[in-house]
Amino acid sequence: MEAIAKHRFLGSSPRKMRLVIDLIRGMSVDRALEVLHFSPKHASKDAEKVLRSAVSNLMNRDEATRMEPSDIFVKEAFVNQGPTLKRISPAPMGRAYRIRKRSCHITIVVATKA
């Protein structure tokens, strides 16, 4: 059995988020939450929130059977690019530099081992 959680239009660049998501792919949920909680990266807080949501979705899907968090693992975790906001910054001699504020979409799929 598996469950999905998504966080769309997150205000962090996909490249920075992929560094964090690559750490937890394939891990058990207990270990993944521990890694994310103690990671110094700012993106790890958002990834931890999505992982907790995926685990909660799995628990709520079938309330009759009790699952231990140690029996759940991260089956898939990936980051896609979201829309980019384009802004202008003034530059010397009447020019303008473009600022790209990137966003991303996180998807985490968790499943039971059995």
| pLDDT above 90 coverage of the chain, percent | 86
Q: Six-digit token pair at 30?
A: 């207990």
Q: Work out the mean pLDDT of the chain and round it to a whole number.
A: 94
Coil/strand/helix, residue 89: strand
CATH of the domain at 31: 3.90.470.10
Nearest to 73 by CA among 22, 41, 112: 112
Q: What is the pLDDT of residues 24-38, one digit of tens each?
A: 999 999 999 999 999
Q: What is the pLDDT of residues 2-32, one digit of tens each?
A: 999 999 999 999 999 999 999 999 999 999 9
What is the sign of the dihedral through the CA atoms of 60, 75, 69 and 32? Answer: negative
* Domain carrying residue 25: 2-112
Residue 105 to residue 109: CA distance in whole angstroms: 13
pLDDT band with cut points at 50, 70 and 90 for residue 55: very high
Res 5: pLDDT: 97
pTM of the model: 0.90
Confidence check: pLDDT of 59 > 80: yes
Q: Six-digit token pair at 80?
A: 């896609």
The count of structural domains within the chain is 1
Res 62: pLDDT: 77
Please say whether the beta carbons of 10 and 105 come within 8 A.
yes
